[in-house]
Amino acid sequence: MFGYALRRLLSTVPVLWIALTACFFVLRLAPGGPFDGERPLPPAVKANLAAHYNLDQPLVVQYVRYIGGVLRGDLGPSFVNQDFSVAEQIGIGLPYTLILGALAFTLAVAVGIGAGALGALYRNRLGDHVLAGVILLGLVLPNFLVAPILQLVFGLQLDWLPVGGWGGGTITHLVLPVTVLALPHVARISRLMRGAMIDVLSSDFVRTARAKGIGRAAILRRHVLKPALTPVVSYLGPAAGYLLTGSLVVETIFGLPGIGRYFINAALNRDYGMVLGTVIFYMLLIVVLNLVVDIVYAWLDPRVRGR
Amino acid sequence: MSGVSKGSESLQAAALESAPVRGRSLMDDARARFLANRAASGSVVVLVLLVLAAVVGPAFLPWDHETPDWSAFRSPPSSENGHYFGTDQNGRDLLARTLHGTRVSLAVAFVATLVSVVIGVLFGAIAGYVGGRLDGAMMRFVDILYALPYILFVILLMVVFGRNVYLLFAAIGLLEWLTMARIVRGQTLSIRNREYIEAARAAGLGRMQIILRHVVPNLIGPVVIYAALTVPEIVATESFLSYLGFGVQEPLTSLGTLIAEGTDVIEVLPWLLWFPGATLVLLLLSLLFIGDGLRDAFDPKEIS
Amino acid sequence: MTKTRTMMRRLRLSTLLPALLPGLLLAALGAEARVLNISNGGDPTSLDPHKLSGDWENRIAGDIFEGLVTEDAGAEPIPGQAESWEISDDGLVYTFTLREGLTWSDGEPVTSDDFVFSLRRLMNPETAAKYAYLQYPIANAEAVNSGEMPIEELGVRAIDDTTLEITLERPTPYFIGALTHYTAFPLPEHVVAEHGEDWVKIGTIVTNGAYTPVDWVPGSHVTTEKNPAFHDAENVSIDGVKFFTLEDESAALKRYRAGEFDILTAFPTDQYAWMQENLPGQARAAPFAGLYYYVVNNQQPPFDDARVRQALSMAINREAIGPQVLGTGEIPAYSWVPPGMAGYGEPAEVSWKDLPYPEKIEQAKDLLSDAGYGPDGEPLSVQLRYNTNENHKRVAVAIASMWKPLGVEVELYNTETKVHYDELSRGQLEIARAGWLADYNDPDNFLNLLKSDVDFNYGRFVSEEYDALIDEANAETDTDARAALLKQAEQIALDETAAMPIYYYLSRNVVSPDVSGFEDNVFDIHRTRWLTLAD
């Protein structure tokens, strides 16, 4: 298992490197540099700025310096927040994104699996139909539509929850953003879970077990859950990716200082270093999460391990 | 002396008289199941209406999507001034804009799906058919791309190449071809050993010819299903990008852009959010039901 | 600071924890000192005044630092770190006397050497300060900033610890006002010398203003605390300020209504009418010394024809833009210089200002057909550029529809702010939106925009007469004579339609009834030391 994990990790290094290189050069093609603003700079100052940040050197030289820096853990300076380097800013923003993502992920998995299982066990009853309806809405409503509506209802009209901001991480500040982020995944996971469980419940070996007289709870535990979870777990890998992209919108709407917001800001402001830095981190996160999911999958389904 | 009894004689006669037996093909089965699925068949009707409205509707309206009506700025929906959906902060008719936006969203979805289908099918079919090292390398490539946070790259592309709407179509399409390629490859693997392929090979057809003439046409089923399932995702992705400001630009508008503009003024000009929002939800729901319906129709095990 | 001395910042685990701790601690402590919560828009680029260029950054910088001269509640210049000054008869030499007993927040005395150090660093090309040109009135400043002269040649001299002498290139009536700007703030030489670029970090930074910064989470907030070493500390009422980074104006308004913010520095114009009804007296739209205009490419046909430019300008129904399109009632601009600039009186105006609108349209059509365009001539198509922003979009859409009856086809083209200005400064435009906020209280601020040798003259308007008048005015010491010359120049620019002024800005703030002392002024500067917060 350890060897498998290690091999997977190592195989991603060239991927990361290629993606980073592509990003680096593509970004430089973008029109508009980081120092253009409402007031153009006198050419002397512009030249100084370029020299200061090594922007006047040939692109390849800049690239080599950058990669060298990355290997040492130095992701370069940020043009937009000049008092913080890219690494420092990511260090500050990453915990917020991780906390938000982890909570949303946990919520999505717990509620999704639970709702899906209940739906399968009590299917075609009223509760199942209601659940199906809610799930549909969760699947279809975009998060940028749900968020302001929730903000309006719970934040302003009912005044139960704060409308935005991190607020030191208090629960009330996290409820809305985590819910909005998790909602589409709750929907998808419960759909997958319900479908998979129904499949398994009607399969031969479950019928055999029931015929043998084994109790319901035991059947669920031993024979149903693991195989039913398989499609769910294989969804979790891409889900991690979707959660990260969903956090772009959620962080923006709720004003949370995570790296998603940094990325958008940096892209709009041509803060090359910041863009590349956040891309690296997103890729790392996705890789790690996918790896974890793969390991869980291999544990669930031993046939996979043989590969 | 005949050994046939009287009863069996009448049975034979009856059998000869009744209608000839018609075999039921896979398509017939699927179609029957699809039509029996009320949500799916109803959604087809809804979708067709939406598409018609979007394509043909604007011709019947007195307002177009970009000309301000100076006498009716920020007007709530009213039949008196002819603005059934109301107007926005520039006095533009919301009904016209919603239809126009739906048109753009559908166009993006169509082109993007086409791009992803073409690339995915070719890629997967070639990998699956040729097999061996090429297959391994191509699938490795897909695995690699799967690991990347695609949205970030799409955003970067939009940033770099400016607000070119055709590029948007292509970029979103490029997001979706990976899964299509995997599915197609799987299907191709199971097709390639069938008799008609062997016959074609024996007849001396080249590999590409076989792929294009025999493999691809047999992939239509799963491809259509998967394409139907991803269209809502593509529409959602386009809305998401437009909401963040990276998608469709003025003077074009899309459902995502309209919703983005509407969320800012949800309290003072709520109609600006509700109409485009409802349209988007309706569109996505119907696409979802249709996609599900198609999948269930071809693969009954999934039906609850 | 040279580039070889930039420190390398590595990703340390130790940077992760401190991010969470203050928040958790604050939450644990519960009640805290009453802090003024301001929604400030963007993140500041830096706490170093030499790296700034935005008004949102000015809000923070002006609270934590103070220059020789500072602003009162109405943004009028008053003595700051200097208690008095003398101006020589020829208007070239200013001698400032610093107050007794001034100290930095760490106790070290503020001396005139700090000012010399700071101004030299500002002009040093290696600092690459974006706003250095604001202090070009100082002798040799421009030469130093372009690297042509060593920094010691800058016209700033410390006579003794509390006396500072500044020499100017030429008599500059607005120089005292310009000294309130953050480019003229002193820097703590002893801290910068010791820590280099890291001097601005929280924990190391030392300031001389009413407040000191104590916390900065990028993307979230900057927090300041009252500075007991400030010379007027006993009159500073508010204990501290939290500047929140939040670009989304509607989200900010929601949080204001939920009680999380005391002051908003922008609000969505669509909500203005709603706010006037539901939050009476809190939303403020006040005249702001700024001009919103459309640049026209004077060098590119067909816009090189003054008749075409004038026709397009006349067809804009400016009266509809403020009240209807934007909803906050911005005042139409028929002059280049906004009203209220010191010593200027009434600005010059376009000749057609008072015509009724239908009349303007008719004349515009005539002008276009004279120039060979319109229904009988060639079709005219225009690419209208603006930077991505709700308001700019609305104005552009509205104006495009106003040009349509003239037979003009308009292509709307929007890009992000940085791209927009990059392409403008390279002359890549036909017609484009731009804006200019006054840096100091003098009309040449705006008139310089149309001088032929100035970078900001995006439309490349060239008029020798105009340039000559401006230069003559700069050499003129008599205020009235100077104003007359400037006005002549302004009239030329307007008659030639060098560019199209559209409206004068309004400052948009939302101020909670708990806050007093917030006076609307044309520079939209409201230093926290003049405000008080009810409990």
Size of interface A-C (CB pairs under 8 A): 205
**Which residues make beta-bridge pairs with B93?**
B87
The pair of three-digit structure tokens given for residue A264, joined into one six-digit string:
């958008």
Q: Does A9 contact B at CB distance below 8 Å?
A: no
Looking at chain A, which subunits does it touch, using at least 3 CB pairs closer than 8 Å as the criterion? Answer: B, C
Q: Does C359 contact A at CB distance below 8 Å?
A: no
pLDDT above 80 (res C427):
yes
The answer to whether A257 contacts C415, with C-beta atoms less than 8 Å apart, is no
The confidence band for B4, taking pLDDT boundaries of 50, 70 and 90, is: very low
Q: Are B85 and B77 in contact (CB under 8 A)?
A: yes
At B128-139, the pLDDT tens digits run 888 888 888 888
C487 min Cα distance to partner chain B (Å): 36
Q: Which residue has the tokens 């709307």?
A: C412
Of residues B174 and C329, the one with the higher pLDDT is C329
Beta strands at C36-39 and C240-244: parallel, antiparallel or unpaired = parallel
pLDDT above 80 (res B219):
no
3-state DSSP assignment of residue C385: strand
The pair of three-digit structure tokens given for residue C249, joined into one six-digit string:
């104006």
- Beta strands per DSSP E along C353-426: 380-387, 408-415
Which pLDDT score, from 0 to 100, does residue B185 have? 84
Q: Are A299 and A109 in contact (CB under 8 A)?
A: no
CA of B160: which chain C residue's CA is closest? C419
Q: Which residue, A266, A270, A197, A276, is CA-closest to A230?
A: A197
Q: Which residue has the tokens 């090292």?
A: B133
Contacts with A96 from chain C: Cβ below 8 Å = 19
At C273-297, the pLDDT tens digits run 889 999 999 999 988 999 999 999 9
ipTM of the complex: 0.76
A282 min Cα distance to partner chain B (Å): 7
Q: What is the mean pLDDT of chain C?
A: 87
User: Who among A27, A199, A263 is closest to B301 (CB)?
Assistant: A199
Give the C-alpha separation, B77 to B94, whole Å: 9
The confidence band for C33, taking pLDDT boundaries of 50, 70 and 90, is: low
The pair of three-digit structure tokens given for residue B172, joined into one six-digit string:
């979103």
Helices B132-146 and B94-130 cross at an angle (nearest 10°) of 150
Give the C-alpha separation, B300 to B33, whole Å: 8
The confidence band for B14, taking pLDDT boundaries of 50, 70 and 90, is: low
Give the C-alpha separation, C365 to C373, whole Å: 9
The answer to whether A249 contacts B301, with C-beta atoms less than 8 Å apart, is no
User: Who among C11, C48, C257 is closest to A87 (CB)?
Assistant: C11
3-state DSSP assignment of residue A170: coil
Give the C-alpha separation, B263 to B259, whole Å: 6
> What residues contact A35, with CB distance under 8 A and at least 6 apart?
A41, A46, A49, A50, A79, C130
Of residues A214 and C368, the one with the higher pLDDT is C368
Beta strands at C515-516 and C532-533: parallel, antiparallel or unpaired = antiparallel
Give the C-alpha separation, A258 to A246, whole Å: 12
pLDDT above 70 (res C132):
yes
Give the C-alpha separation, A179 to A107, whole Å: 8
State how far Cα A94 lies from the chain centre.
Answer: 12
Q: Which of residues 60-79 of C touch A (CB under 8 A)?
A: none
The confidence band for C4, taking pLDDT boundaries of 50, 70 and 90, is: very low
Q: What is the pTM of this model?
A: 0.81
Which pLDDT score, from 0 to 100, does residue A5 have? 72
Q: Which residue has the tokens 């639970």?
A: A114
* The residue count for chain C: 535
Judged on CB neighbours under 10 Å (0-12, 13-18, 19+), C453 is: exposed
Which pLDDT score, from 0 to 100, does residue A144 have? 84
Task: Read off the pLDDT of each residue in C129-142 and give the average, rounded to a whole number.
Answer: 87
Q: Are C417 and C427 in contact (CB under 8 A)?
A: no
Q: Which residue has the tokens 């690991």?
A: B147
Which pLDDT score, from 0 to 100, does residue C15 have? 45
Q: Which residue, C178, C92, C119, is CA-closest to C444?
A: C178
Q: Which residue has the tokens 């620019």?
A: C493
Which pLDDT score, from 0 to 100, does residue B300 have? 53
State how far Cα C484 lies from the chain centre.
Answer: 26
The answer to whether A48 contacts C125, with C-beta atoms less than 8 Å apart, is yes
User: Who among A139, A140, A263 is closest to B152 (CB)?
Assistant: A263
Which pLDDT score, from 0 to 100, does residue C11 have? 38
The answer to whether C414 contacts B268, with C-beta atoms less than 8 Å apart, is no
Q: Does C390 contact B at CB distance below 8 Å?
A: yes
The answer to whether B152 contacts A195, with C-beta atoms less than 8 Å apart, is no
Give the C-alpha separation, B95 to A85, whole Å: 48
Output phi, psi for C87, to 5 deg.
-115, 135
pLDDT above 70 (res C32):
no
At B74-114, the pLDDT tens digits run 888 888 888 888 898 888 999 999 999 999 888 888 888 88
Helices B94-130 and B255-264 cross at an angle (nearest 10°) of 130
The answer to whether A163 contacts C260, with C-beta atoms less than 8 Å apart, is yes
Give the C-alpha separation, C90 to B27, whole Å: 98
Task: Read off the pLDDT of each residue in C86-104 and give the average, rounded to a whole number.
Answer: 92
Q: Where are the alpha helices (DSSP H) in C435-525?
A: 444-447, 464-475, 479-495
Handedness of CA B225, B226, B229, B235 (dihedral sign): negative
- Our separate counts of H helices and E strands in chain C read 16, 19
Which pLDDT score, from 0 to 100, does residue C194 have? 92
Which amino acid belongs to residue A264? I
Q: Are B213 and B233 in contact (CB under 8 A)?
A: no
User: Who among A54, A81, A167 is closest to C218 (CB)?
Assistant: A81
At A164-216, the pLDDT tens digits run 777 777 888 889 999 999 998 888 888 888 878 877 777 777 777 777 777 77
The answer to whether B288 contacts A139, with C-beta atoms less than 8 Å apart, is yes
Which pLDDT score, from 0 to 100, does residue A41 have? 63
| CB neighbours of residue C255 within 10 Å | 26
**Three-state helix/strand/coil letters over chain B:** CCCCCHHHHHHHHHHHHCCCCCCCCHHHHHHHHHHHCHHHHHHHHHHHHHHHHHHHHHHHCCCCCCCCCCCCCCCCCECCCCECCCECCCCCEHHHHHHHHHHHHHHHHHHHHHHHHHHHHHHHHHHHHHCHHHHHHHHHHHHHHHCCCHHHHHHHHHHHHCCCHHHHHHHHHHHHHHHHHHHHHHHHHHHCCCHHHHHHHHCCCCHHHHHHHHHHHHHHHHHHHHHHHHHHHHHHHHHHHHHHCCCCCCCCCCHHHHHHHHHHCCCCCCHHHHHHHHHHHHHHHHHHHHHHHHHHHHCHHHCC
Give the C-alpha separation, A186 to A192, whole Å: 10
The answer to whether C401 contacts B68, with C-beta atoms less than 8 Å apart, is yes
Which pLDDT score, from 0 to 100, does residue C159 have? 94
A46 min Cα distance to partner chain C (Å): 7
Protein fold of B31-54+92-302: MetI-like fold (1.10.3720)
